[in-house]
Chains A and B, each alone.
Chain A
Amino acid sequence: NAGVTQTPKFQVLKTGQSMTLQCAQDMNHNSMYWYRQDPGMGLRLIYYSASEGTTDKGEVPNGYNVSRLNKREFSLRLESAAPSQTSVYFCASSALTGEKQPQHFGDGTRLSIL
C-alpha cells in the first residue's frame, strides 16, 4: 500500500531558484492538499484541490502555485524560492463522501532555502 507518495524527500535550493514538489496518491481520492509545517506553527494549508480540475487557496498561498494534473497527482511549485519557504511540506488526500473522511499524509519533503 503506497498511499500518498511525495518526491523528493529532501532538497536544498538557493534563493531565487525554482522547483516542483510532486505528490501522487493511489487511493482514488477526490481531494488533495498541500501543507507546510514549521516549528510552533502546526500545519498550515497552502493550497487544496477538492476534485480533479479545481484548486483553491488555503491559509498561506503566497509564493506558491499548484497543478492538479489528474486525479492521482497534485504538484506544488515554488517559482522563486525564498528563505522564508524553508519548511517541511506535506501532501495529503481524502475521499469525498457524505461523512467527513480523514486525510492521509505523505512522509513529507524537507526543503531548505539558502
Chain B
Amino acid sequence: GNSVTQMEGPVTLSEEAFLTINCTYTATGYPSLFWYVQYPGEGLQLLLKATKADDKGSNKGFEATYRKETTSFHLEKGSVQVSDSAVYFCALTDQGGSEKLVFGKGTKLTVNP
C-alpha cells in the first residue's frame, strides 16, 4: 500500500521563525495529499489539501505543494506563532481509490515567545 515518511520531531522554533516540515510519500496512482493538525487534547483537523500534481494547498498562512517529481508535500509557514504549537500529520489516500487515509507519524511543533 501507499506510505508516508514524515520529518521526525520535535521541532522547536521561536515566534516569527520560518517553518518547514518535510513529508515524502510512496504511492501507486495519483493520491490526494493532506496535512492535518492536532492541538493538545483535541482530535485532528484538516489544515490543507492538494488533489493533483502542482496543486498548492494553503490555509492560515500554511502552504504545501504537491510535487510528483520528488514525491513530496512539505509544509511551510513564513512566520510561526505560539498558537501554531501542535502536532502536524501528513497523510495521503490509500491505493485503489480507497477512502482510507495513510498517516505519517506526526511532527510535534513547539513555538516559544
Residues of chain A whose beta carbon lies under 8 Å from any beta carbon of chain B: 4, 31, 33, 40-45, 48, 50, 58, 90, 92, 94, 96, 99-108
Contacts and interface: CB of A to CB of B under 8 A. Distances in A.
Interface string B28-40: 0000101000000
B101 interface: yes
9 contacts: A42-B106, A44-B103, A48-B99, A90-B43, A90-B44, A96-B99, A100-B93, A106-B43, A107-B42
Contact of B32 (A50, A100, A107): A100
B43 A105 contact: yes
B43 A58 contact: no
Interface residues of B, number: 20
A106 B38 CA distance: 11
B60 interface: no
Given A102-B46, A106-B43, A43 B100 contact: no
A97 to B, nearest CB: 10
A24 to B, nearest CB: 14
Given A100-B51, A103-B101, A108-B42, 9 more contacts: A4-B43, A40-B105, A42-B103, A43-B89, A50-B99, A92-B43, A100-B32, A102-B49, A103-B46
B93 A43 contact: no
A56 to B, nearest CB: 9
A2 to B, nearest CB: 13
Query: Which of A40, A42, A92, A99 has the most B CB atoms < 10 Å from its CB?
Result: A42
A108 B43 contact: yes
A85 B93 CA distance: 26
Given A50-B99, A94-B99, A100-B51, A42 B104 contact: yes
A20 to B, nearest CB: 19
Contacts of B99: 31, 48, 50, 94, 96, 100-101
